[in-house]
Amino acid sequence: MMTPMFSPLTLTTAVVGTAPPDAGAVGIAVFEGLEPASPSVEVETGWAEQRRFEGKLGEALVRPGEGGRTEVIVGLGDRDHLDAGAVRRAAAAFSRSLGEVHSAALDLTGVAGPGLTVERAVQGALEGFWGARYRFTRYRKADPETLESLSIVVGAGDLDAAERGLDRGVVVADAVRLARDLSNEPAGALTPTQLAEVAVEVAERSGLEATIFDETAIVSERLGGLLGVAAGSQQPPRLIKLVYEPDPSVARARADGSVPTVALVGKGITFDSGGLSLKTADGMMTMKTDMSGAAAVIATLGACGELGIGVRVVAFAPTTENMPGGRAIKPGDVLEIRNGKTIEVLNTDCEGRLVLADALSLATEEAPDSIVDIATLTGGVVVALGRKIAGLMGNDDRLIDAVRSASKRAGEPTWPLPLHEMYRSDIDSEIADMKNTGKPGAGGTLTAALLLREFVGDRPWAHLDIAGTSRSDEDCGEIRKGATGFGVRTLLELLEAYEPLDSPAVGAAT
C-alpha cells in the first residue's frame, strides 16, 4: 500500500478589471427578474424568458457569444437575500456549465452590497467554482482537466479587496479538497497508520507541531476506548495530535498576554464494519468515510497559518478500524476511558463515542478556552435533519451560537438539538458508569452527545454530528457525489472570528 498523494489546486486564478479577450467562457451574474449585477452588462430578456430562465439562485443559461466565446448567465436569486452563499451557488453553476475551454472569466462587478463585501463575494466564488469542479480520479481513467485559468472580474476600485478574497478562497478550497480526498480514499489505502502519515505531511508543510501516538503510547496514555475499538483489527490504531501556534504578529492575546486555545477533535474510523455488532452489506458501502471528522480537523489545521488564525489550536484525531476480529470487544465488555470513567459496550457499532471519549479527555487536559468535536456519529441525525444539515449540540449557548454563526457564513447548514437532562438516564449502566447506547430508536443522536459530555468537564464544548452531511449521494451546488469536506469551512470561520469565552460552560438551552 502507498501513502495517498494529495495535490493542491493548480488552476491559475486572478482578479481583473475586464474579462481577458482570450477567455473561452464568460459568466454574467443576474438577480431574479433578469436584473444584471453589473451596470455595464445587458441581458436579452426576451431570449432568456423564452428559455424560462428567471435568474433564480443556481440557474444557468448558456448561449453563444461574440467571436466564438460562450456566455453563461448565472442566477444570484433575490437581491435582498444576496450573501456569500448565493455567490458560491452561482459560481458552482457557472463551473458546471463550462465546456472544454482553456480559460474562463466570471464577472462579479456589482455583486456586493450592505451585507456582502467584495472580499467575501470573491472568496465564495472561488469556493463554489472549485467545489463543483472537484473530481476524485486517482483510481479511474478520466478526461483531463482542460481549464487552465480562471479570472474574476470586479470593479477597478475593488481589486485590492478582491485579491484578498481570492487568496483566502484558494486556501479554503484547497483545505476542503484535502478533506474530500482523504474521505474518498479507499480504506485499504488509507489505514490509521497512513492517515497519521498524511497528518505529519500536512504539519511539515504548514508549520504545525505533530505528535503521533502509536500502540505503545496509546496503552501508556490509558486510552481504553481507542484500544477497545481497535482490538478487532489487524491494523494498529493511532492518535494524531496537531498544534498550531499563531505568529505573534497575528495572535489575538487577552489583556494578560495569553492567547486563547481552541481544541478540535475529529473522529477517525478509517473503516467501520460495526465490529461484532456487524453492519449489513449495504450499511458498510460508504464506511470508508467514517473518518470524515478527522479529515476535517487535519485539513483545518493545515490552513490556519496561511489564513493568519489568531488563536492557538490543538487538534486530536483518534483513528482506527472497527473490525470483527477474534480479539474484538464483545457486547457486555467494559472499557475504561482516559479520564477514569467506564463505559459498558452493548453495541460495538456505537464505536465513535468510545474513541472520542478518550480524545475529548485529552483535549480537556489542555485547559482550552473551548472544545469542538466533529464526527460521523449517528444515523439518527440523518433521520432528524436529512443529509444537508448537521446536528449541533453542546453544553454552552455562547459556543453553540458561535459555531452556528460560523456555519451560516460558511454555507454549511447546522441546526441545534437539545441535550435534555431527562435523557441522561438512558445511558445508565447496571455495571459501569454509563453504557454506549440509549433506548432503541429513541433519541440516539442526543444520548450519544450526552455520553460525550461526560468527558469535557466544565469546558465549553460543542459537538457537530455530520453523519448525514459528510457524504452526498448526488451532485448539488458546489457538492459532487461522494465526500463533501463538510465542516472545514465552518471550523475555519469559527477560528478566524473566535472571541474568548473566558469562563466555564454556562449551560445550553434544553
The pLDDT value recorded for residue 1 is 37
C-alpha grid cell for residue 303?
490552513
Q: Residue 121 and residue 127: Cα distance in Å, rounded? A: 10
- Residue span(s) of the chain under CATH 3.40.220.10 come to 12-174
> What is the predicted pLDDT for the residue at 7?
62
In this structure, are residues 447 and 423 in contact, taking their beta carbons and an 8 Å threshold? yes
Long-range contacts at 469-476 (CB < 8 A, ≥ 24 apart): 469/387, 469/388, 469/389, 469/390, 469/412, 469/413, 470/183, 470/289, 470/292, 470/293, 470/376, 471/183, 471/286, 471/289, 471/292, 471/387, 472/387, 473/387, 475/96, 476/388
**What superfamily in CATH does domain 12-174 come from?**
Leucine Aminopeptidase, subunit E, domain 1 (3.40.220.10)
Question: What was the pLDDT predicted at 41?
Answer: 81
| pLDDT, averaged in runs of 10, over the chain (510 residues) | 56 91 93 88 84 93 84 94 95 93 94 91 96 90 86 95 97 96 96 97 97 98 98 98 97 90 98 98 97 98 98 98 97 98 98 98 97 98 97 98 98 96 97 96 96 97 98 90 97 96 78
Selecting among 63, 79, 164, 279, the annotated active-site residue is 279
Q: Which helix (H) or strand (E) holds 283?
A: helix 281-284
H-type helices in 108-223, by residue range?
118-133, 159-184, 192-206, 215-220
What CA–CA distance (Å, rounded) separates 169 from 216?
Answer: 41
The CATH superfamily label for domain 185-496 reads Zn peptidases (3.40.630.10)
- Report phi then psi at 338, rounded to 5: -50, -40
Catalytic hit among 241, 353, 435, 480: 353
Q: Give the separation between CA 363 and CA 361, rounded to whole angstroms.
A: 5
Residue 134, SS3 per DSSP: coil
Distance of CA 360 to the CA centre of its chain: 19
Helix H or strand E segment including 427: none
Nearest in space to 84 (alpha carbons), one of 174, 169, 175: 169
Question: In angstroms, rounded to a whole number, what is the distance separating the alpha carbons of residues 346 and 331?
Answer: 4
The answer to whether the beta carbons of residues 399 and 372 sit under 8 Å apart is yes
What residues have CB less than 8 Å from 422, skipping those under 6 apart? none
**Residue 423: its pLDDT value, please?**
96
How far is residue 158's CA from residue 135's CA, in Å, rounded to a whole number? 32
Share of the chain above pLDDT 70, in %: 98
Q: Which residue do the cell numbers 464483545 mark?
A: 330
Q: Is 353 a catalytic residue?
A: yes
pLDDT, tens digit, for every residue of 342-399? 999 999 999 999 999 999 999 999 999 999 999 999 999 999 999 999 999 999 999 9
Which run of H or E residues covers position 56?
Answer: none
Contact between residue 122 and residue 15 where contact means Cβ atoms under 8 Å apart:
yes
User: SS3 string of 307-348?
Assistant: HCCCCEEEEEEEEEEECCCCCCCCCCEEEECCCCCEEEECCC
**C-alpha grid cell, residue 333:** 465488555
Please give the pLDDT value at position 322.
98
C-alpha cell at 34: 433578469
Task: Please tell me the pTM assigned to this model.
Answer: 0.96
Which ranges in the chain are annotated with CATH 3.40.630.10?
185-496
**DSSP assignment string, 89-133:** HHHHHHHHH--S-SEEEEE-TT--BTTB-HHHHHHHHHHHHHHHH
* CB neighbourhood size of 28 (10 A): 24
Please check whether residue 277 is in contact with residue 348, taking contact to mean a CB–CB distance below 8 angstroms: yes
**Whole-number Å distance between alpha carbons of 304 and 264:** 13
Active site residue 252: no
